[in-house]
Amino acid sequence: MNRHFSFEFSAPRSPEATEKLLQVHDRLQVCHPDFFSVTYGAGGSTKDGTRQAVLTINELGSNVAPHLSFGGDPPEKIEQLLHDYQNAGIKRVVALRGDIPSGQMTKMTYANELVSFIRDKTGDHFHIDVAAYPEIHPESTSVESDLMFFKNKVDAGADSAITQYFYNPDAYFRYLDACAALDINIPIVPGIMPITNYQGIVRFSKNCGAEIPRWILKHLESYEDDPESLKAFGLDAVTKLCHRLLEGGAPGLHFYTLNQSLPTIHIWRNLDL
What number is the average pLDDT over the span 15-39?
94
Average pLDDT score over residue span 46-74: 88
52-89: buried (b, 16+ CB within 10 Å) or exposed (e) per residue? ebbbbbbeeebbbbbbbbbbbbeeeebeebbeebbeee
* 136-177 confidence digits (pLDDT tens): 988 888 999 999 999 999 999 999 999 999 999 999 999 999
Lowest mean pLDDT among 97-101, 110-114, 214-218: 97-101
Rounded Cα gap, residues 230 and 199, in angstroms: 11
- Per-residue pLDDT at 109 exceeds 80: no
Q: pLDDT for 8-18, tens place per residue?
A: 999 998 889 98
| pLDDT score of 45 more than 60 | no
Distance CA 139, CA 109 (A): 14
| Whether 267 contacts 255, CB under 8 Å | yes
CATH no., domain 4-271: 3.20.20.220
Q: Which of 46-60, 101-115, 200-214, 240-254 has the lowest mean pLDDT?
A: 101-115
In tens, the pLDDT along 78-97 reads: 999 999 999 999 999 999 98
Any idea where the domains of the chain sit in the sequence? 4-271
What whole-number distance in Å separates Cα of residue 220 and Cα of residue 226?
9
Confidence of residue 47 (pLDDT cuts 50, 70, 90): low
Mean pLDDT of the chain: 92
Confidence of residue 50 (pLDDT cuts 50, 70, 90): confident
3-class SS shares of the chain: helix, strand, coil, % to 5: 50, 15, 35
Residues with catalytic annotation?
A: 8
